[in-house]
Amino acid sequence: MLIRLNKFLSSDQISLKIDKNFTIDDEAFLSDTHLHKNINFKGEAFKVDGSILLNGIIKYTFSDQCARCLTHFDNTIETEFKAVLSDCPKENEKDNESDEIQLKITDGCIDPEEDIKQMIYLSMPMKSLCKPDCKGICPNCGVNLNYEECKCKDNLIDPRFEKLKDLLND
C-alpha cells in the first residue's frame, strides 16, 4: 500500500488531494476482522513547517452481525486518519499525548498499511444494527420480526379476556 509523493515533494505545490482505492492482502487480518479487502482513502497532504500533514478519511466495509436480529450484513464505516510524514519520524517521543501517527517517507513514498489496519481495528463498532429500526427476533418463537410477523403477541391475550377488558373499560 504505497502512496507516492515524489512529485508533490519536489514541486512548489502546498497541498495534494489524494483519493485512492487500496486492497489489504493480509489474509489473517481479513479473516480476523471480516473486512472486505477493498478500502478507500480520501484526503489531503499539506506542507507545513518543513513536514507534511496528511488528513483524510478511511472508508471500509466489513461483514457485521446485527446485535438485535443476528442477520449478517455489510457495514460501511468511515474513520478519520491523521498522520505527520517526515524523513525521520520522532520515534522517541513516546510520551507525546497526541494520537497523530508518525509515518516515514522513504524514497518519496509512504506505506501507511500497518497504521490503517490499526485504525480500522480500533474503529470497528462493538455493536451495530442492520438498520436503525430493526425489530429483532421474537424471544418466544425466534422469528425474525423484520420479515415475518408471529402470533406470539396475539396468543398471549385470550380473546375472552379482551371482551372482559372492554366491559371493564366502559
Binding site residues, Zn ion, CB under 5 A: 66, 68-69, 130, 134, 138, 140-141, 150, 152
Rounded Cα gap, residues 56 and 119, in angstroms: 12
3-state secondary structure of 31: helix
DSSP 10: H
Task: For the CB of residue 166, give the shortest distance to Zn ion in the complex, in Å.
Answer: 25
Give min distance, CB of 22 to Zn ion, in A: 30
Nearest approach, Cβ of residue 133 and Zn ion (Å): 9
Nearer to Zn ion, 57 or 141 (CB): 141
CA distance 38 to 89: 28
What amino acid occupies position 90?
A: K
Alpha helix positions (H), 19-112:
27-33
Least spacing, CB of residue 35 vs Zn ion, in Å: 20
Are the C-beta atoms of residues 34 and 64 closer than 8 Å to each other?
A: yes
Looking at beta carbons only, is 53 or 152 nearer to Zn ion?
A: 152
In this complex, which beta carbon is closest to Zn ion, that of residue 158 or of residue 170? 158
User: Of 106 and 140, which has the nearer Cβ to Zn ion?
Assistant: 140
Residue type at 131 in one-letter notation: K
Compute the residue count for the chain: 170
